[in-house]
Structure 1
Amino acid sequence: MRVTLLGTGDTTGTPTVGCDCETCQLARERDVERTRFSVHVENERTGESLLIDFSPDFRYQFLRDDVPLPDAGIVTHVHFDHLDGLGNAFRVFDSLDIYAADETDPETGKSVAETVADDYHYLRTISVQPTTPLETVRICGLDVTLVPVDHLPLVCYGVAIEDPETGAKLSITGDTSYDVPEKSREVLDDPDLLLADAIVPAHLCSSHPIGGRHEGPDGVPRTFGTKHMTREGALTLADELDASQTRLVHVAHFYPANEAFEAPLAIDGEAYVLE
């Protein structure tokens, strides 16, 4: 299983348009970036590939990293930075299955699958496959499970992907606070690679209107506001999930420049082979 991090940034990416903060300037100087979130997973046994989330930077990411176009895709939730790249399916694909959760969102009155089907009704090439969370489905020769996470007010899902032949496992937390349900943690547990949402370091919680949440025994918040993990929260979750390797994603340009490009924070273009 080959995993390529096409997009490792939050909703504005790094560098952020119109921003001259030290972090964005340093990203330009180093010629590194974090575009909007997307992960490419290639099953090298079958020659098929799966895309997790459709970044608005879809076209640029695929041209830059020269990975195969996906044979199927997953949409974790309906925020624009994870969904709006699906419009690139126009004239690019002959057909494309899109897997998305079938649970009704109390906020919208529709499931993620229904929202995708409604918003992209004009794309004759896509076929939305409503998928029940916590039930494993075979996609591109890989065992894929959507797991509910905590990204209120909308429903959102993490993803566990396992190769049934090699046992290699990728877990993606999705956009979430530290309050990931126990059943979801059980599915995400023991990955070879964990991609964990870590939008900012915990010390920036003081700048959020409602601060931080889910403080650890040391008083350090593991959630920034209500919807995303801090770096410290993501690393705590990684330890609890017994991840062999962890990369932090959905990273904002608010990280101070001297912290913004330090491990384990990911940047675009990183690739991992899980065996």
Structure 2
Amino acid sequence: MRVTLLGTGDTAGTPRPGCDCDTCLAARERGVERTRSSVHVVNEETGDVLLIDASPDFRQQFLREGVSLPDAAVITHIHFDHLDGLGNVYRLLDRLPVYAADETDPETGESVADTIERKYDYLDTVSVQPRAPHESVRVCGFDVTLVPVDHPPLLTYGLVVEQPETGAKLALSGDTSYRVPDASRDVLRDADLLLADGIVPASLCDYHPLGGRDEDDEGVPRTFGTKHMTHEGALALGDDLNADETRVVHVAHRYPPDEAFEKPLAVDGETFTL
């Protein structure tokens, strides 16, 4: 399994348009980017390509990394930075099966699969494949399982991608607070690589209107507001789940410039072989 991080940024990415903060300036000087969320996974046994989330930066990401177009996709939730890249498959692909949860969201009255079907009904290329959370499905030769996480007010999902032949395991927290349900944690556990949402350092919770929550024993918040983990929360989740390696994604430009581009914070273009 070869994993390429196509997009590791939050909704606006880094550097942000029109922003002259020290971190965005440093990103421009270094030629480093964090575009919107997307992960490219190659099954090295079959050559098939799985895309996890379709970033609005789809075209830029695929050209920049020189990677193959996907044979199938999985969408974790309906926020535009994870979904709206699906429009890019027009005239690029003959068919793209898109897997998504079939659970109806009380907030929208639709499942993620329903929303994709409605928004992209004009694209014959997109073939929506609804799946129940916790139900494993074979996609591109991988066993893929969506699991509920916590990103109010919407239903959102993390997922696991497992290679049956080798036992390699990739886990993604999805966009979530630290309050990942126990049943989902059980599925995410013991990954070779965990990509965990860590939008900002815990110190910035003081500036959020809702502050922070899910504090550790030393009072450090593991959730920023209600929707995303802090850097500290992402790493704590990795420890809780016994991940061999944890990389922090969905990263905002609010990290100090001397920390913003250092591991375990991920940047676009990183690759991993599991």
Structure 1-normalised TM-score? Answer: 0.99
> 1:57 matched to which residue of 2?
57
How far the C-alpha of 1:256 sits from its partner, in A, is 1.2
1:206 and 1:257 mapped to 2: Cα distance?
19
1:144 and 1:169 mapped to 2: Cα distance?
10
How far the C-alpha of 1:149 sits from its partner, in A, is 0.2
2:217 and 2:244 mapped to 1: Cα distance?
24
How far the C-alpha of 1:107 sits from its partner, in A, is 0.1
> 1:194 matched to which residue of 2?
194
Q: Name the SS for the 1:255 alignment partner.
A: coil
1:10 and 1:178 mapped to 2: Cα distance?
17
Structural mapping, 1:171-210, within 5 Å:
171-210=171-210
How far the C-alpha of 1:146 sits from its partner, in A, is 0.1
The question of 1:124 aligning with 2:124 is answered yes
Structure 2 portions without partners, runs of 5+: none
Listed one character per residue, the Cα deviations across residues 68-91 of structure 1 (whole Å, up to 9, x for unaligned) are 100000110000000000000111
1:201 and 1:259 mapped to 2: Cα distance?
10
How far the C-alpha of 1:151 sits from its partner, in A, is 0.4
The question of 1:238 aligning with 2:238 is answered yes
Q: Name the SS for the 1:239 alignment partner.
A: helix
Listed one character per residue, the Cα deviations across residues 56-78 of structure 1 (whole Å, up to 9, x for unaligned) are 00000000001110000011000
> 1:99 matched to which residue of 2?
99
2:19 and 2:136 mapped to 1: Cα distance?
42
1:261 and 1:202 mapped to 2: Cα distance?
17
The one-letter amino acid paired with 2:184 is: S
2:203 and 2:216 mapped to 1: Cα distance?
13
Q: Name the SS for the 1:122 alignment partner.
A: coil
The one-letter amino acid paired with 2:51 is: L
2:106 and 2:141 mapped to 1: Cα distance?
33
2:200 and 2:97 mapped to 1: Cα distance?
33
Q: Name the SS for the 1:147 alignment partner.
A: strand
Q: Name the SS for the 2:97 alignment partner.
A: strand
How far the C-alpha of 1:261 sits from its partner, in A, is 1.0
The question of 1:37 aligning with 2:32 is answered no
> 1:169 matched to which residue of 2?
169
How far the C-alpha of 1:5 sits from its partner, in A, is 0.1
Q: Name the SS for the 2:29 alignment partner.
A: helix
The question of 1:20 aligning with 2:36 is answered no
1:257 and 1:47 mapped to 2: Cα distance?
38
1:39 and 1:216 mapped to 2: Cα distance?
30
How far the C-alpha of 1:126 sits from its partner, in A, is 1.0
2:70 and 2:221 mapped to 1: Cα distance?
37
How far the C-alpha of 1:258 sits from its partner, in A, is 1.5
1:77 and 1:177 mapped to 2: Cα distance?
14
How far the C-alpha of 1:257 sits from its partner, in A, is 1.0
1:58 and 1:19 mapped to 2: Cα distance?
22
2:125 and 2:65 mapped to 1: Cα distance?
24
1:40 and 1:98 mapped to 2: Cα distance?
14
The question of 1:66 aligning with 2:66 is answered yes
How far the C-alpha of 1:223 sits from its partner, in A, is 0.1
